[in-house]
Amino acid sequence: MKIYETRQAPNPRRLRIFLAEKGIDLADFEIEQLDLAAGDNLSETFKTKNPMGGVPVLEFDDGHCLSESMAICRYFEATHPDPPLMGDSAESQAMIEMWNRRMELHLLLPVAMAFRHTTGHFSDREAVFPDYGADRAKTATKMFDFLDRHLADESHIAGDDYTVADITALAAIDFARVIDLRIGDRPHLAAWYERVSARPSAKA
């Protein structure tokens, strides 16, 4: 199998952390790095693998491809169920899905939009709206505050156990440095961040 990714991007990092937690060695895959700034992901060749142009993409040995980071993670959750990172019961699966979606929609996506619209990093291929970017940065900041309150009573994002929701939050918070957003004086969020960052998978 082959993985197409971009080392600095948050979604490929989510997949790398997920695989590391599963004990799946990246050395078992052929890895191709794409330069998003240069538009590698917009080539006609790559779009036959993912017409949406995003990374990561998992290419199976027969040539068909799976894209969207959480879809790829679900594949590996099913093929390597231990340790469970997406829940092991109907209730836990639903709870983790809820929290992971919150991390995607209210943290990772706002950070990504703030980056794209305040820096103009992809202004050669998309319209840029700085005011929208600034608004998304405010939304991400509010989510930092929310998580600090939430983690006062929880050891992890979705409860007692480390899950894919923690992976999404970690990738988003680390990527938020590109918009100069830091944890700062948020002690509960900082304590959680220290715990999850100390896991070997965080270095993946």
DSSP the chain: -EEEE-TTSHHHHHHHHHHHHHT--GGGSEEEE--TTTTGGGSHHHHTT-TT--S-EEE-TTS-EEESHHHHHHHHHHHS-SS-SS-SSHHHHHHHHHHHHHHIIIIIHHHHHHHHHHH-TTTTTS---HHHHHHHHHHHHHHHHHHHHHTTS-SBTTBSS--HHHHHHHHHHHHGGGGT----S-HHHHHHHHHHHTSGGGG-
What average pLDDT does the segment 125-130 reach?
97
* Overall number of domains in the chain: 2
116 and 177 housed in the same domain: yes
116 and 48 housed in the same domain: no
Residue 111 resides in a domain: yes
pLDDT number for residue 81: 98
pLDDT number for residue 136: 98
Note the pLDDT tens digit of each residue in 136-146. Answer: 999 999 999 99
Domain that holds residue 152: 90-203
Q: What is the mean pLDDT of the chain?
A: 98
Residue 84 resides in a domain: no
The model's confidence at residue 69, banded by pLDDT at 50, 70 and 90, is very high
